Every structure is written in structure tokens, then in C-alpha cells.
Amino acid sequence: MVELINGGMGNCYIVSGENGAVLVDTGTAKFRDTLLEKCRAADVRLILLTHGHYDHVQNAAYLAEALGVPVAMHPADIPLLADILSEPIDAHVFQGKAMAAVIRLGQRPRLKKFVARVQKNDIPPFTPDIELHDGFSLLPYGVDASVVALPGHTRGCVGLLAGRDLLVGDALMNIGKPARPLHYVDRAAMEESAAKITALGEDITLWFGHGGPVENQLW
């Protein structure tokens, strides 16, 4: 079962199985207590991060400590926890270019502290306990699901396939309309990941980091 939870700037999910549950992404600080309550009720045994952007990871340290559970993340995205510009941010559509420009501007030394204070986009430090890879099974955490590598938006972007549900993180987005991500680190990898999702078939329900779910289609 997939439960969508408002995480602030994006979606979080609790994926429940017969013997436990997994929290996928952690949202922003304002929503941490709501998430904690839902995680406790669902018997969450693992926090899985689809990628390293702050709107997906900001509550990871808080929730991991409060729940006493490990955090799992692809190792390629660990540098993003300290510096979002540790990898390039590219785009080829206007909205994506605008978003990328704002991110770069906000990381300039004179503006970074101000932006962090206003947007509250700092990431409390944590070290992932588990390194994710393609095919990683969540059965040890009570959920019959596996990790799907979906690089492109970030180098370590992953999704989670649970039956006919695929949580795609930001490998695709539904902002205005379902589409490929507005900005990315590697356009070719992003397009390969989109094709990988298409190949799973039309009977797959997609759950996005941003926006409501849709049935799979040609990406």
C-alpha cells in the first residue's frame, strides 16, 4: 500500500507491507512532527531517500533519531547534502533554466546564509547507514519492493517499485503536467531513465516527488 503525505515542497510516501513499512523521502522541517506520527503508526523500519535535494532529505536526521531506524541513500548523492552545486544543474526548457539559475544564485557565498535563513533550506547533518543500488530489496524491512536506479535528475536518483506502483522521486515530475524533470545533472541519463520507466508498461501507477499520481505512459 502506498500512502502519499504532504511533505511541504514535495511529497513523502509510506509504503507498507505485511511486516513493516518504509518512509520514502522526508519533506521539510515544518512537517516533521506530522511525518513522525504517521511513521510510528505505520511501523516504519527504514527511511529511503530518492535523492539528495533538501526538500526530500531535510527531516532525515530528525526522523531517523526519533524512530531509531536507518537511512538509505545512493552514495552518488551524498555530496549534495553539503553542497547542491557539487554537481552541475542543467536544463533545456525555460522553467527549468529559471529554476537552475535561482538555485545557483542562492548558493553564492554572500547569499547562501541569507537564503538558508529565509527559506529554511539547511540540511541537519546525517550520514546514510545504507547504500542503495539498483535491485536493492526492502524485504528485510517488511516491504516487498525493490530499488530502481533512475539517474539523471541527480547522479544517484532512485525510485522504488512495489508491485505495480513506482515511486519515481524526481526522475519525472508532475508540475502543471506530467513530464521529465525540469532540471538535471545529466540529460542523456535522465532520458534513459524516462525510457526505463516507459518500458515498465502502462499498468504501472507513478507516484511523483512533486504532483499527483498518474498511470504510466510514453516519456
pLDDT tens-digit series, residues 57-71: 999 999 999 999 999
Residue 116 pLDDT > 60: no
Strands (E), the chain: 2-6, 11-17, 20-24, 44-48, 71-73, 130-131, 146-149, 158-162, 165-169, 173-175, 177-179, 205-208, 214-215
Per-residue pLDDT band for 93 (boundaries 50, 70, 90) equals confident
Residue 75 pLDDT > 50: yes
Residue 118 pLDDT > 50: no
- Mean per-residue pLDDT, 159-188: 97
Residue 112 pLDDT > 70: no
Per-residue pLDDT band for 101 (boundaries 50, 70, 90) equals confident
Task: Please give the pLDDT value at position 204.
Answer: 98
CATH class of 2-215: alpha beta
Query: Minimal CA–CA distance to 25: which of 48, 54, 2?
Result: 48
Average pLDDT, whole number, for the chain?
A: 92
Residue 36 pLDDT > 70: yes
Better-scored residue on pLDDT, 121 or 49: 49
pLDDT tens-digit series, residues 194-210: 999 999 999 999 999 99
pTM (2 decimals)?
0.94
> Exposed, middle or buried, 202 (CB in 10 Å: 0-12/13-18/19+)?
exposed
Task: Please give the pLDDT value at position 85.
Answer: 80
Per-residue pLDDT band for 5 (boundaries 50, 70, 90) equals very high
Task: Please give the pLDDT value at position 167.
Answer: 98
Cβ–Cβ < 8 Å for 46, 22:
yes
- Mean per-residue pLDDT, 25-31: 95
